[in-house]
Amino acid sequence: MGEIQPEIYILNRDAEESARLNCQHDFLLEVYGNNLIHPSIPKSNIQSVADIATGTGIWLRDAATVLGMWNRNPSSPYYLHGFDISSAQFQPLPTQTNAEISLSLQNCLEPFSSEHHGRYDFVHVRLLIGALRKGEYELAIKNIFDILKPGGYFQWEETDMDSIESDISPQPPSLIEARRLLLSSLDKSDLYTKPAEHIKSEAKCIGFSNLHIVEYSSTTRPHLRDRSRAWLTRALQSVMPMAMIRLGKASEEDFGKEMAKELMAEFESECAEAIVGLNMDMVIGKKPERLESVL
């Protein structure tokens, strides 16, 4: 397995970014047809849940509500635990009568403490495309395998950055440039632009079964098309300053922000009436009931 290197995360962890992440969560939930947990995953057996790279913890908030609809027995509460490499974006979570929710520090590339091994029925992961180098996915997937109970499932959601496009032909110059800068910066940082297939392949090698990828488009539902453009615009505004720096186009973050601001102003003007979006890939897998079957 690959060595753990210094963190490479491409986004900020300030209040503005936390607000964007929360809005993004609500938008993606609609993209998924309001399925927080994919329909192919049995919910009736889920009692304990881990959320990797939890950020603000907003996914756990909704998970407690969704799972509570399946079990209204207060004597058998759910256990939900959010893990993140930084606590900077942790937000207070509402008290749930049927759920115990915790947030704690954990690098997903480091082994979890023994108390978490084999503890979770379901593990959720979202958007580590800007945080994991190509050689680091195996470590993260192995650690997910370790904390799942036999028979437990994981659901890992990632963007397909190669799929960014509009319905305008030819594509607007600002969109072409923004996509080029983003893809180039990911490649230079040794990050995948479309991680889903690699996640599936590594998960198979580690021992997961029932693996499949579900693809969603942010523009499939007509009522989401304006929101898709706004979401992608805001996401690009967040990552573009660091992309400028890593590609040597800006020496400091302030210069990167100014350059990104100019580019995104052109993007908003050229794409004001366009349908703009990308694809989301959801990788789903199951830890075998009998571990000896994969040895």
pLDDT digits over 152-187, tens only? 999 999 999 999 999 999 999 999 999 999 999 999
Is the residue at 120 inside a domain? yes
Whether the predicted pLDDT of 16 surpasses 80: no
Which are the contacts of 162, defined by CB distance < 8 A and separation ≥ 6?
Answer: 183, 193, 194
Q: What is the CATH number of the domain that holds 83?
A: 3.40.50.150
Q: Is residue 10 part of a domain?
A: no
Q: Out of 48-52, 141-145, 204-208, 229-233, which region has the weakest mean confidence (pLDDT)?
A: 229-233
Could you report the per-residue pLDDT of 117-135, keeping only the tens digit for each? 999 999 999 999 989 999 9
- How would residue 293 be classed by pLDDT, with cut points 50, 70 and 90? very low
pLDDT value for 295: 42
For the chain, count helices (H), then strands (E).
7, 7
pTM of the complete model: 0.89
In a domain, 206, yes or no: yes
Instruction: Check: CB of residue 129 under 8 Å from CB of residue 237.
Output: no
Where is average pLDDT lowest: 41-50, 130-139, 174-183, 253-262? 253-262
Flag whether 66 is in a domain. yes
Domain count, the chain: 1
Paired with 212 in beta bridges are 284
Q: Is 274 a domain residue? A: yes
Which tokens is 10 given? Answer: 């491409």
Distance CA 96, CA 287 (A): 29
22 in a domain, yes or no? yes
Query: Would you state the structure tokens that stand for residue 73, as one six-digit string?
Result: 């027995």
Strands (E) across 116-217 are located at 120-126, 148-166, 209-217
Whether 7 is covered by a domain: the verdict is no
Mean pLDDT of 198-210: 97
Please check whether residue 170 lies inside any domain of the structure: yes
Reported confidence tier of residue 17, pLDDT bands at 50, 70, 90: confident
Residue span of the structural domain in which 22 resides: 15-287
| Residues near 93 by beta carbon (within 8 Å), at least 6 away in sequence | 57, 60, 61, 101, 103
